[in-house]
Structure formats: structure tokens, C-alpha cells
Structure 1
Amino acid sequence: MTIDAALRQASLLPAPVVIAVEPGIYREKLHVTVPGVTLVATRPGVVIVNGAAAGHRSPDGRPWGTGRTATLTIDAPDVTLRGLTIRNDFDYIADTVSQASGGAQAVALMIARTADRVLVENCGIEGYQDTLYVNARAAFRRCRIVGGVDFIFGNAAALFRHCDIVTRYVPNAIDSGFIAAPSTLATDRFGLVFDRCHVTREAGVPDGSTWLGRPWRAGGNMAILGTAAFLRCRLDGHIKAAGWTEMGFTDPAGVRRMLTPQEARLFEWGSRGPGAAPAAPTRRMLSDAEAAGYTPDAILQGWVP
């Protein structure tokens, strides 16, 4: 049975429903619309994989666009994923040479705005550009999230604890990309929060080649002022000394502008390892009092996963 078939059966049952997935490679493009469903691997070795990229044509003849590329989309509340590997295997490296795709964004896991209280535990989430798109309240525990360009992004309050955040090697690349690209509304206090994570890299990624991230003003929406924070994380030597960088957007008047780290809300506290650095104009450190406010209860607005 495919996972998609199991999800269709789950839609006929009262919540909560647990789908136990046996090891194997499942080449599927999944859309989870069943509230309260859990997808759990019975043993290691469950891989869900697809290869759609933003510039590719979907079955309806239109380009997929970023959001629709996801290997697995969560579109319902109270969904849990455990022990799975979710991968977008679009050949990003070949595309950097050929530029054939017309858009290399290729999402592995998307948590849609209509989702809420999504828990992801002990999962691998793998891609290159735009690996993980988080647009609803979510918690990630002991996951391995792999990518290169803006590979953890979105406008949600999301808490990542004890995760490995891995930058990928791309041959001949001078810069190895950007980790976080938050698009949080200015009225929201918390966005992407990384707590006690290991920010690391694949073999071959050079020292000083990777940004912690950049603020994404999606669609030129001036109400967006992204926020991300790295708390008590170990940062390997691939992280740039400046930490954060700017990101371009087109404002409502059609003018191309840049949103800088100084304008956005991008922070660290308690960083350690060779990629840690002292405070700088682009690399702001929270005070102890400010960091104390980053509790799971506050970040997740009272939800206890």
C-alpha cells in the first residue's frame, strides 16, 4: 500500500489516526489533509521522495512554483511525523550548471498556513534550496535538516530543539548559502527559533562561507519584518563572521530595495564553537534577560507538544 492510499483511508476514520510506515523508498507526493494523523516509521529506513522544482511544469501545465513543489505538504492541524526521511531529490547541482529548470526552489516539507500544532520528531528533511517551508505553528525535535539556500524559511512561530542544521556542499560555490529566511509579520514576537542545535556542514563546505540567514520580505509586504534566533547553538566554522546579510524585495511602489539585518529581528544568545562571534552591527546578541523570554510556552503560544 502507498502512504497516499493510507492517508485516504485515514480520512474516513475518527481522529486521532496512526499510520505505521514500513521501511522502504516511497516515491510519492503527499498532501496531508487529515487532522490528528500521525505518520511514524516502524523502523529506520522510511524515505519519502519526490523531485519537483519551482520551474518544472506540473500536471496542470503550470510551473509548480515554490509552495507546490513539496514532497510532503501538511495542510491540517495536529499532525505528527516521526522517524521519517522526507527528501526532494531535484538535481540542484546539475541545475546550477544548466539552469534548465527555470526555478531551482524545491521543497521537501511544507507546513501550510491551514495547519497548526505540527510536531516533527527524529526526522530527516533534505533538499538544497528551500528545503523546509514553515507557515504554521510547529515544533521540531532531534531532526536533521539539510540544505543550502534559504533552506529553513517561512512566517511561522517554529521551535527547533536539538536538531542538526546541515549546509550542503555545492562544487565550485564560493558562498555556500543561507540557513534561515524568516518572513514573520512585524506584529508577531517570535519566528524561527533554534535552541541547542548543531549548525554544521557537509564535507567540502569551506570555512566562512555560510550566512546564518537573511530577512525575507515575501511579496514586498511591508508588514513583514522577519525574526529568527539561535540560542545555545554550536556553530561550526563555515558560519560567516558577520552572521546575517540583507535580502532584496520589491516594495508596493515597484521600487527594488534591500531589507537589512539591522532593520530586521535577527538574534543569537549563548553561541559556541568556531562559528560563534562577538556582537557586531549585523550580529546582535540577546541579553540574558531577553533570552529568558524565549521559552517554549511563549514561542509556541501555550501549545505543549
Structure 2
Amino acid sequence: MTAVEGRHASHFPCSSRDRQYSSSIMCSIDRLLQKDVRLGLRPIPHFHFSAMASSLLYYLLLFFLLLSTNVSGHRHHSHHRRAPVLPGDGGDVSAAINLACRASRFPDLCESALSSLSSSLPPNPAPADLILAALAASSDGTKTARATAEDILGASASDLNRTAAARNCLEFLYLADHRVGVASSALSAGDLAGARLFTGAVALHQYDCWSAYKYVSDTQQVVDAMAFLSDLANVTGSAASMIAALQRYGANTSLWAPPQTERDGYWPDVAAATPPPEGFGAGVAGSCFSGNPDATVCKEGGEGCDFTTVQSAVDAAPVNSQQRHVIYIKEGVYEETVRVPLEKPNLAFVGDGMGKTVITGSLNADTPGVSTYNTATVGVLGDGFMARYLTFENTAGPDAHQAVAFRSASDQSILESVEFLGHQDTLYAHSLRQFYNTCRIAGTVDFIFGNSATVFHDCLLVILPRQLNPEKGESNTVTAHGRTDPAQPTGFVFERCTVNGSEEYMRLYRSKPAVHQVYLGRPWKEYSRTVFINSHLTEIVRPEGWMPWKNDFALATLYYGESGSDGPGANVATRVPWSSQIPAEHLGVYSVENFIQGNRWI
């Protein structure tokens, strides 16, 4: 893997009326589709690039000085107003900045950025004022980065890879610009968890842009853009760290310190009413979806069909609707690339069953001008996405490297009884909050990856043969989580899942088990976080459990936890020393309710 991301339908009782859409559409979406739609978003990366970052700090400071007047002039917007629910604790502006920036892992950069905005701050700034100022700086910095990406795109007509990188950057920075407004609004409303989540998403997309440039950094213009983005993302990350400190210590900024993780012995307070393990999967069991689909897709067309492609049904869906829009996709193999844009929230794909309704593609990262992010057969940005009873597939094959079947940056997305088929990088759980229930996910290397906060409940994780000549053996990893900053509340939680091999893989494994090695995960980024709870680990899981990425990278900062699993691969006595057993009293941290606030939207 490389670095480069109307629930109020017409109500009818579930009856024979529904059978006109096929037997499997009846009751196809449960009460999840009937609740009021709630929109939201998520947190993320840090990365340190000492070479150009220090040289660009001066220019970044000049940038913030230039934009401070603009920030002051826009304080009437909702994402710049003060949050009265978060009072300050006194002191002048410079002292307040100094104390608040103690929460940052980059205190000097944080102080420089906020000091340049001091004229826009009130005399006695509350913590929220300082965080909002940092978010305002991030927003304006994002706009500057977008303008630079436009310039790079214009200068790269003869370079296919640089053109693709610039286009990806424009998408990432568009998303960052959107998320920063949501983060600011959440903070102003006193929603600290949401503000932290969304602030991390802003930094993630800024990092994504940096990462896209990393492979085409053959011009000074791109090098300078990367240096600017590195500092900008760290300013945004400082805002996330300040929100984390506000959550932990309260408004007394003299107590603030950089964020810590489970590896440091820090466990956040959780709702006492959530008893592990019963808290996992709460609200999953659904009831019938009462109503007809809003659109029907049929491979061959015909009576009762509105569209012959999934993308055309998505294109016709309402823009920025707060109502659930259900697209029923009849049985068939749909060979197409599907994109659900940010402006199309609350879409639901419902098929006729795994293996019956199949959306398939074959894009892979070995193709010039195609990054891992672009390889997805189905890519979703619109929040509140749902899918049920279908298969997402990438057929690129085991020798094609990165080839994504499904990518989601959709906050509060739910996928149930969905199959994901691929090899390397099958499921890109890119960002924000996601929930997968009773799904089947198959692949070889890092086949579940990303930097989202995701819970996988009762899912089957299937290892496939990795190579064209698999008899010689291989090392496969189920996960590669990409958390880059301890302020990000992201991670992968697997609860009541099973890790097993396909029939072909099991035949190979049993013929020569020593050369066919399966690990639960490896750390893609420095603060990678993955836990397996109450799961079944078959004999293919190595006794060590977890695999390093390279040498000792991230081994002191990651968190890989286990609790209550069974099966021959679940013997914790032989685990690597840098993995952990989750204390029983802290299991509630990883419940659906606490980890992804699922009780609000599932």
C-alpha cells in the first residue's frame, strides 16, 4: 500500500407489494433508513518534514500575518464566533496562546501561527476562540494550497502523473475546506467530539495532498507546495490537539499537555451505561424497511427500471438532500466505476444479495496516472451512505498491487451484508465514522486500510492466495491502519469477527503452513490503532499476531490490542511484545456507542 484517499420515504407495510422488486428487496433496509438523518464528519494526521518545513515556517508566518485581517473580518460567520459554553480562564492574548499551544506537539509552530492572528482575538480569549482562530488559519491556508494546486495542474499538461496528483490535491483540499467549516460549527455548538473528529479530517485531507505530491516532486513548485502543506497540516493538527486537551482537562489551559494514547496508559472516560461486551453492536438488529425504492437500476433495462447504470442513478439523485434516497440495484454484474460526490449525502444502495448484485472494476495503481485513491471501483464522499445485499469488487488480480474495491470517506456510513472482493487494499476505510455489520471482506495485503474510526461487527475476513504462484508462500496482513497523530480518535475495531482463509488458501496453507503467514495487521502510520475483541482467529494467524512495517517503525507508538478472542490463532502468550491486552475495565472505549457514537445514528 502507498500513502496515495430520506429516511422519510413513503411508508408502506412490508408485504407482497414489495415482491415486485424481487424477494430480496422486501424488508431490505431496516429501521436504520427510517430514522431522521443526522449529518456529521471526523479527525487525523501529523507528519513532520524537517527539511523544507523549517525553511517554509517563515513564509507560513507571513501568510498568517496577511490573512489575520481577513479572519477578523469574517468573525460574523458561524464557524468563527465565540462559543459561550467554553469560557476562558483569564490572561492576556500572548499568555493565553502560550498556554493553549502547550497542547500541541508543535508548540513553536502553533504559537507562531496564533500570534500572527492575535489582533483578531478578544483581549481575554477563551480556549474556543484560540481553536477557532487556528481553524480559520487552516481554512485560509487550504484556499492558498488550492490555488497552488491549480497552478501546478496548469503547468503539468505534459506530465500524466503530476496532472493526476494535482487533480487529487484539488479534491482533497475541496474536502478540507468543507470539513473545516463543519469543525468550527461543531466547536461553536459545544460539540467537542465532533469538532475534534472534523478537525482531524481537515488535517487528513491536507496530508493526502502532500502525499499525492510526494511521488511527483520533481519541480521546485511542487517541493514548495509540499513544505507549505506540511506546516499547514501541523497547524490544523495543533487545533485537534487543543480540542483533545479541552476534552481531557477542561478550560484551564495551564493544565493542557500534548495528547496521549492507550500506549501511554491514558484511557478516556466513557459512558458508564455501556457494559462490555454487550454494548457492541447495539441497535444492529433491524426491522423491515417500509417503502419503495426511489430509483431502480437494471442491467438490461426494461419495465420498472429507471436506469441501466449505477452511476446514472447516483447522478440523478437529489443534491444535498436530508432525506434518505434508496437506489435498488437488481441482480446483475455492473462493470463500471461509481463515484458518490460530497453533494449527494444519504444515498443507499440495495441489491439482491452478495454475489448477485455485483459492481466490478479493475483499476490498479500500476496504471500511469492512477493512484491507490483513484483505483476504487466504488468511491463515496457523501455522508450517511448505506449499502446492503451486494458485492463491490476489484478484479485487478494478485500481481497488480494496490487495487481498491470500495473507498469511503462518508461520515456515519453503514454497510451491512456487503461483500468486498479484491487482493491488495480491498477496502479503503479512508476517514470519518463507519460501521460494517455481517460483511465479507477478502484480500491479501493490507486489505483493510485507512485512517477512519470504524467498527467491524460480525464480519468474515478472508485471506486469498497472494501470488500467481502462491505455492512458494507469502506474508499477508489483514489491516494497515493509518493514524498519524495521537489527537485523532480513529482506529479499527473488530468485534465478533472471524479471520479465515478461502478454500484455495487453506489448501495451500495445510500443505506447507510455515511459508503461508497471516498477521492481524501492521502499522501503516506512526499511531496505528487496531483492536480485535471477542473474535475467532483460526490457525492461519501467526503466533506473533502482528507484523512490523519496517524495522522498529511505530512499534513504540502504535496500539494493537486484543481481548476475549478464541481459536487456535488467539493464543496471546506468544504475541509480539509491542501488542497489548485490553484491560477489561476499558473495553467500553471500543463500543459502538463510545468509539463512533453509533447510538446517535445507527
Structure 1 residue 91 displacement after superposition: 2.1
Identical pairs, percent = 30
What's the secondary structure of 2:366's corresponding residue?
Answer: coil
1:111 maps onto 2:415 in alignment: no
Q: Residue in 2 aligned with 1:79?
A: 385
Q: Deviations over 1:138-195 (max 9, x none)?
A: 0000000001100101111000000001111231242341001011231134400000
TM-score by length of 1: 0.85
Show CA shifts across 1:182-217 (max 9, x none).
Answer: 112311344000000011111334246101101112
Aligned to 2:267: none
Q: CA deviation at 1:261?
A: 3.8
2:446 aligned with 1:140: no
Unaligned runs of 5+ in 1: 96-100, 218-223, 249-256
- How many equivalent pairs are there? 275
CA distance in 2, matches of 1:56, 1:225: 30
Deviations 1:56-107 (A, max 9, x none): 13xxxx2x11110000001110010111100000022xx3xxxxx5xx1000
Partners of 1:167 and 1:282 lie apart in 2 by 24
Answer yes or no: is 1:236 the counterpart of 2:538: yes
Once the two structures are TM-superposed, the CA of residue 246 in structure 1 deviates from its matched residue by 1.2
1:195 equivalent among 488, 495, 506: 495
Task: State the one-letter code of the partner of 1:175.
Answer: E
Counterparts in 2 of 1:262 and 1:232: CA distance versus 1, 3 Å: farther
Q: Distance in 1 between matches of 2:320 and 2:476?
A: 43
Q: Distance in 1 between matches of 2:472 and 2:496?
A: 28
- Residue 221 (structure 1) aligns with: none
Given that 2:325 and 2:346 are in contact with CA atoms closer than 8 Å, whether structure 1 keeps it comes out as yes
Determine the C-alpha separation between the residues in 2 that align with 1:235 and 1:108: 24
Letter aligned with residue 216 of structure 1: W
CA RMSD of aligned residues (A): 1.8
Mapping 1:189-268, distance limit 5 Å: 189-203=489-503, 204-205=505-506, 206=509, 207=513, 209-217=517-525, 224-248=526-550, 258-268=552-562
Q: 1:41 aligned to 2:351?
A: yes
Contact 1:129 1:147 in 2 (8 A): yes
How far the C-alpha of 1:9 sits from its partner, in A, is 1.1
What residue in structure 1 maps to residue 373 of structure 2? 67
Shift of 1:13: 8.7
Question: Shift of residue 262 of structure 1?
Answer: 4.4
Structure 2 unaligned segments of length 5 or more: list them.
1-307
Q: Which one-letter code corresponds to 1:7 in the other structure? A: V
Worse-superposed segment, 6-15 or 147-156: 6-15
String of CA shifts for 1:220-279, please: whole Å, max 9, x gaps: xxxx4010000000001010101112113xxxxxxxx64244431011101100111124
Q: Does the CA contact (< 8 Å) of 1:242 and 1:283 recur in 2?
A: no
> After the TM superposition, which residues 286-297 of structure 1 pair with which residues of structure 2 at under 5 Å, given as runs?
286-297=582-593
Answer yes or no: is the 8 Å Cα contact 1:49–1:88 preserved in 2. yes
What is the rounded CA distance, in whole Å, between the counterparts of 1:43 and 1:197 in structure 2?
A: 20
Q: For 2:367 and 2:449, how far apart are their aligned partners in 1?
A: 21
What is the aligned counterpart of 2:457 among 161, 174, 188? Answer: 161
Q: Residue 11 of structure 1 aligns with which residue? A: 318
Q: Is the 8 A contact 1:197 1:233 kept in 2?
A: yes
* Aligned partner of residue 289 in structure 1, secondary structure: helix
More strand by share: 1
| 1:22 alignment partner AA | K
Deviations 1:111-143 (A, max 9, x none): 12xx21110000000110001111221000000
Look up the match of 2:471. 172
